A = this chain, B = another copy of it.
Amino acid sequence: MSYFERHIFFCLNERESGENSCAQHGAQQGFDHCKARVRDLGLGGPGAVRVNKAGCLDRCAGGPVAVVYPEAVWYSYVDNADIDEIVDKHLKHGQVVERLVLPNNVGR
């Protein structure tokens, strides 16, 4: 069994070049909100959910982005309501939030 049932990684990268990056588009706020919601709902810990900071996930064109493993589902989110839906549907129940899924052709 996986150590965490679901492990979500938020790109918090700020590109030094000044190019577009997740950090300029609310990534820290999205991470903080996700972390708080998972904690408040009691979803965190071994055997359950881990909300993780990450460096550049290399899909900057879709930023801010996050990826949920082991399902390898990628999301592009806008606001706290999007994060709530990812937590309540995917992290809690394993249901992919289709409307927020990042198309496979979006890269750096």
**Is A36's beta carbon under 8 Å from chain B?**
no
Chain copies in the assembly? 2
**Is A17's beta carbon under 8 Å from chain B?**
no
Rounded to whole angstroms, the CA-CA distance of A58 and B67 in the bound complex is 18
On whether the beta carbons of B7 and A69 are closer than 8 Å, the reply is: yes
On whether the beta carbons of B46 and A52 are closer than 8 Å, the reply is: no
Give the number of residues in A that approach B within 8 Å (Cβ atoms): 25
On whether the beta carbons of B9 and A54 are closer than 8 Å, the reply is: yes
**Is A55's beta carbon under 8 Å from chain B?**
yes
CB interface residues, A 63-77, toward B, < 8 Å = 67, 69-72, 74
CB interface residues, A 1-55, toward B, < 8 Å = 1-4, 7, 9, 12, 46, 50, 52-55
**Is A94's beta carbon under 8 Å from chain B?**
no
Taking beta carbons and an 8 Å cutoff, which residues of A are in contact with B? 1-4, 7, 9, 12, 46, 50, 52-59, 67, 69-72, 74, 104, 107
